Amino acid sequence: MIGYAKEELVGVTELGKSLGNYLDRLSDRVYEKIAVIRRNKPEAVMISLEEYERLKEAADRLEQQEIEEILKRRSPEEREISHSKIVSLDYEK
């Protein structure tokens, strides 16, 4: 589990009152992340847009690598079928 410094924890009520202040702290890199607390437990984490985009790009690259690995493991017969066979999705009862 990821740890949070005391100043990285904010209650949902406090966040509502000072959202702009917390957004400034994220964008100015005062904080890497801010955990939003509701009912005495973390419910969400706020990160900067830059960090979100970096994480999203990394996840997309990982997904692409996983797809490429699956395609590499296909047998020659499976590759031939996927390039030549047309499958109809229409059916009659």
Q: Is the pLDDT at 93 greater than 60, yes or no?
A: no
- In the three-class reduction of DSSP (H, G, I as helix; E, B as strand; rest coil), residue 50 is classed as helix
CATH fold group of domain 6-47: YefM-like fold (3.40.1620)
Average pLDDT rounded to a whole number, residues 3-14: 93
Please state, in angstroms and rounded to a whole number, the distance separating the CA atoms of residues 27 and 13. Answer: 21
CB atoms under 10 Å from CB of 35, counted, come to 18
The residue among 8, 13, 64, 9 whose CA lies nearest residue 41 is 9
Domain ranges of the chain: 6-47, 50-80
29-81 pLDDT tens trace: 999 999 999 999 999 999 999 999 999 999 999 999 998 898 888 877 776 76
pTM attached to this predicted model: 0.68
